[in-house]
Structure 1
């Protein structure tokens, strides 16, 4: 499968809904995408969002993002006094509580499959 697009909503460093168009140009056969930018512009947030989409909150993801003890899945998602959690800090400050990531994938016949993982953090469940 090939990524056609990835949409991130209020996750990590992404505020609001940000859609990345990864579709190959019309008539092209290639499927290589290069993600580059200066430090602090969301490359790691992009990759961690994709990891969340496919794997959920894994121990490896938590360990890679938290120093010391990775804590629980719940504290990773909701945050703690030391850490914001997965919800973008501007979204949290403006009272928003929903975040998520989705992707549109293409198979070898160009059939689309959409996958989504989202959270509603209005409660602590």
Structure 2
């Protein structure tokens, strides 16, 4: 604090910083491109949410999504998916016998879970 106010003293304490440095990617024309990093205070995330194991920020137009690329199971919600080589953010709804309903852009469709590649679970949307 002293360094911030006066310019004197140590810039950082030896203590642990309570920030996440999360890699950022831009989603352009169905492809992901590296776009530096974003820093988030750990207090920004609710303590009731499970801690992300492999966080990533996805910028899609004017909307930023915070995603977790490491997950155990696919369940209902918003996901980053690869459909026939094109990456997009879609809503997935589980239906019986390892099938999903894919919606969110254009017409919804049903398919086998193995027909699409699920890349990350969307944890938070920042618009």
Question: Fold match, TM over 0.5?
Answer: no
Q: TM-score when scaled to structure 1?
A: 0.31
- TM-score normalized by structure 2? 0.30
Higher helix share: 1
Greater strand share, structure number: 2
